[in-house]
Amino acid sequence: MKQLYFIALLPPADLREEIHQIRLECSGKFGVYKALRPPVHITLYPPFRFEESYEKKLVHVIRQRTCELPSFRQALENFGHFRKEVIFIKALTTPELIGLQQTITGVFQTRGPERFQWPEYHPHITIAYRDVSPEKFKEIWTGYKDRQYSVSFLAQDFSLLKHDKTRWNNIADFSLTSTAAKI
């Protein structure tokens, strides 16, 4: 049976909680709730359907293709938006993040269940989406467009998540090598 999966870079637990508080603040103040459903994350490969019986093989292939990629410092800075429906914290682009994302996308280009082409990769952490009307967007964006936010974390691993029809569950972590930035 096909299940729904996605691949993401999850910040450390304390930072996930800090960002979740920003999402809760946005939700409470503006009455938008859908961004609270997924975990705080930077998408590396968007949701896809995959035969559950091949899940272990998928984990093996991802591990094999990414095992020598370096850990790296990931910065998050200020807020941005897509169209007039998604508001997010910007994840600054680095060669290491792009390399990780491209390597994972490459796994799916050769072996994947669904081939997805990013129009252009814009790494971010969503704080509001899907239930943001044009009117709400104006209110929310006014509240966040000039707000300053700056933090960074050491990206040491990334995760494969699976949806159980209620929530996303982390089912596998993939370590990045620790030879890179320890800033």
Q: Is 167 left (phi over 0), alpha (psi -120 to 50) or beta?
A: beta
Residue 172: pLDDT over 80: yes
- Kindly list the distances between the CA atom of residue 2 and the CA atoms of 7, 51, 53, 142, 165, in Å, as whole numbers in the listed order: 16, 4, 8, 41, 12
Give, as one character, the DSSP assignment of residue 177.
B
**What global pTM score does this model have?**
0.91
Q: 2-175 adopts what CATH topology?
A: Cyclic Phosphodiesterase; Chain: A, (3.90.1140)
Per residue in 100-116, pLDDT (tens digit) is 999 999 888 765 455 55
Instruction: Summarize pLDDT for 1-25 with one digit per residue, the tens.
Output: 999 999 999 999 999 999 999 999 9
Residue with tokens 């508001």: 87
pLDDT band at 181 (very low <50, low <70, confident <90, very high): very low
Mean pLDDT of 163-174: 96
Quick one: pLDDT at residue 180?
Answer: 43
pLDDT tens track for 48-72? 999 999 999 999 999 999 999 999 9
Half-sphere exposure of 77 (CA within 13 A, CB side): 6
